[in-house]
Amino acid sequence: MNFLIKSGQGLKGEITIPGDKSISHRSIILSSLAEGTSKIYGLLEGADCLATIEVFRNMGIKIVNEEGVYSIEGNGLRGLEAPQKPLDFGNSGTSIRLCSGILSAQNFQSTLVGDSSLSSRPMQRIVEPLTGMGAKITSNNGTLPLNISPTDSLHSIDYLLPVASAQVKSCVMLAALYAEGVTKIEEGSVTRDHTENMFKQFGIPLNIENSYSKKCISLGNINSINPTNIDICGDFSSAAFFILAGLICPKSDLLIKNVGINKTRIGLLHALRHMGANIQLINQKESIEPTADISVKSSNLKGITLNTDLVANMIDEMPVFFIAAALSDGVTIVKDAKELRTKESDRLQAMADSLSSFGVKHELEEDGIKIYGLGSKGVLNSTNINSHGDHRIAMASAIGSLRSENEVNILDCINVNTSFPNFVDTCKEIGIEIEQS
């Protein structure tokens, strides 16, 4: 599936965007392990989360969707049934890494597979700590498939995260629910904390110590989890595309309603404000996952050197940030972002390719990029963009196309369905001319 998108301006309107992907996965996982029925409102009905639902259905969990409200009848921490076939996680790195933590503690064998993108992503980062906890897990040279054999018991570990990864942290936290002793996890760069928040929502005890540059989580094994109801906010990572649209299109004024503004997720907001973006948070609501409506107006942006402390908290928004940089006055420098090479595509390379096609001068490095902005009145080439089958490259490039000479073709966009199934309709709502073929 391809997108054809025309240059545009004067974007106006109020939009809502789909539920947060990270929170949606975690809500399905913990509800499946609880004892009784949890209801989930606002779940992201994208391919990634639907894959997680299928994984748990294949292990005997009853999940019913009634007009977008999902009822999940959890069977308890030890109530999953042995799957009759390999568990297919599709494109979802989050789901496979989190579920590995649970599957490592079960008394049945499981095989975990995914699509071609997921099959080339690094899995040693979870195999290593899980093996340290006593799991019997093997990979194919650090990639899929993963094979997990039954274990009698896991034991706790003290684990210093070698990479800034919420997926690895969450995998170990989930395994810790089954491990004898107290597991301690330390992270140097603070990554998204949705697992910690959802453990609190499900009443799972954990201790968190935060100091200036590190965070320590301790938790022990438990016998049961009580069900709960969860209301999921809009995904800041999906909102990011429309924040970009509002900023780079002249005469635009957008309101994006009910978006999650968890402080571990909004590095992009700080970076864009530093570039001169007119973005306001209104109607802020304090809650375990705080929300706001985001108001965005067209802005002239200037290039910056990105504060490396922000990288972990805007890792999924980097493609958006690169397009903002391409349309700024001056140079933007990003370093310490090597993790981008391990995502659904090698996002440093994929965005460098996209910038080349758009006619934006840049220098790609192993862990970052230097982008020479075309200026706040700059115009991108009308061209074809290869999305590398990566949803975020496709959507960031699609929005960048609004500042093209005329129109742009974005190729291989089917995976937009993983995180933002109604992206095209949402674009049309605010006056973007986009067609899919």
Active site residues per annotation: 316
Q: How far is the CB of 194 from ligand S3P (least distance, A)?
A: 6
Q: How far is the CB of 6 from ligand S3P (least distance, A)?
A: 29
Name the packing angle between helices 166-176 and 124-132 (round to 10°): 30
Should residue 166 be labelled a site residue for ligand S3P when binding is judged by CB under 6 A?
Answer: yes
C-alpha distances (whole Å) from 407 to each of 11, 117, 380, 422 are 16, 28, 10, 21
Should residue 170 be labelled a site residue for ligand S3P when binding is judged by CB under 6 A?
Answer: yes
Cα 198-125-85 angle, rounded to 5 deg = 75
Q: How far is the CB of 21 from ligand S3P (least distance, A)?
A: 7
d(CA 28, CA 31): 5
Of 5-13, 78-86, 163-171, 220-228, the window that binds ligand S3P (rule: CB under 6 A) is 163-171
Should residue 418 be labelled a site residue for ligand S3P when binding is judged by CB under 6 A?
Answer: no
Q: What is 108-171 written as a DSSP string? A: S-EEEE--HHHHTS--HHHHHHHHHTT-EEEEETTEEEEEEE--S-EE--EEE-SS--HHHHHH
Q: How far is the CB of 20 from ligand S3P (least distance, A)?
A: 9
Based on CB atoms, which residue is closest to ligand S3P, 51 or 301? 51
Of 4-12, 166-174, 288-296, 374-382, the window that binds ligand S3P (rule: CB under 6 A) is 166-174
Should residue 299 be labelled a site residue for ligand S3P when binding is judged by CB under 6 A?
Answer: no
Based on CB atoms, which residue is closest to ligand S3P, 13 or 122? 122
Should residue 58 be labelled a site residue for ligand S3P when binding is judged by CB under 6 A?
Answer: no
Based on CB atoms, which residue is closest to ligand S3P, 47 or 166? 166
| Residue choice 24, 52, 75, 165 for contact with ligand S3P (CB under 6 A) | 165
| Residue choice 115, 316, 353, 390 for contact with ligand S3P (CB under 6 A) | 316
Cβ 2 vs Cβ 437: under 8 Å: yes
Should residue 192 be labelled a site residue for ligand S3P when binding is judged by CB under 6 A?
Answer: yes
| Residue choice 3, 7, 11, 22 for contact with ligand S3P (CB under 6 A) | 22
Q: How far is the CB of 192 from ligand S3P (least distance, A)?
A: 6
**Bond into 145 cis (ω within 30):** yes
Of 159-167, 292-300, 363-371, 375-383, the window that binds ligand S3P (rule: CB under 6 A) is 159-167
Tell which positions 72-131 bind ligand S3P, by CB under 6 A. 94
Amino acid, res. 300:
N
Should residue 167 be labelled a site residue for ligand S3P when binding is judged by CB under 6 A?
Answer: yes
Closest CA to 417 of 45, 12, 33: 45
Based on CB atoms, which residue is closest to ligand S3P, 52 or 110? 52
Tell which positions 227-266 bind ligand S3P, by CB under 6 A. none
Based on CB atoms, which residue is closest to ligand S3P, 298 or 345? 345
Based on CB atoms, which residue is closest to ligand S3P, 8 or 114? 114
Place of tokens 């989890």: 225
Max Cα-Cα span within the chain:
63
Q: Return the H-helix or E-strand segment holding 355.
A: helix 347-358
d(CA 98, CA 121): 14
Cα 267 vs. chain centroid, distance in angstroms? 13
Contacts of 194 (CB under 8 A, 6+ apart): 20, 22, 23, 26, 166, 262, 289
Based on CB atoms, which residue is closest to ligand S3P, 167 or 386? 167
Cβ 23 vs Cβ 198: under 8 Å: yes
Cβ 317 vs Cβ 345: under 8 Å: no
Phi and psi of 151, rounded to 5°? -125, 150
Q: How far is the CB of 82 from ligand S3P (least distance, A)?
A: 26
Binding stretches for ligand S3P (CB under 6 A):
22, 94, 165-167, 170, 192, 315-316, 339
